[in-house]
Amino acid sequence: MRQREALEATAGAWKDEDHPDLMTDEDVERFIDELRGRRTPLVPDSEKPPERYIFPGLNDVYQ
């Protein structure tokens, strides 16, 4: 039920025109590969990332 509420609350938040670099499957794969290859955290050092993320694969970003 909470997942449905979250989906309904965020419906329309993503707009293709805001992300022209992610229009194809290949674009998305490149973006994910870039994230997985990062050696620096995506958040400032002053912010500690959560112990575990909801979405698979995000835990790898901070290791």
Contacts with 53 (C-beta within 8 Å, 6 or more apart), sequence order: 59
* Domain limits, the chain: 21-63
Residue 34's H or E segment, with its range, is helix 25-37
Tokens 């973006």 locate to 31
Cα 9 from Cα 11, distance rounded (Å): 6
pTM above threshold 0.85: no
pLDDT for residue 7:
85
For 18, other C-beta atoms within 10 Å of its C-beta total 8
Among 3, 43, 8, 5, residue whose Cα is nearest residue 62: 43
The values of phi and psi at residue 6, to 5°, are -65, -45
Residue spans of the chain under pLDDT 70: 38-63
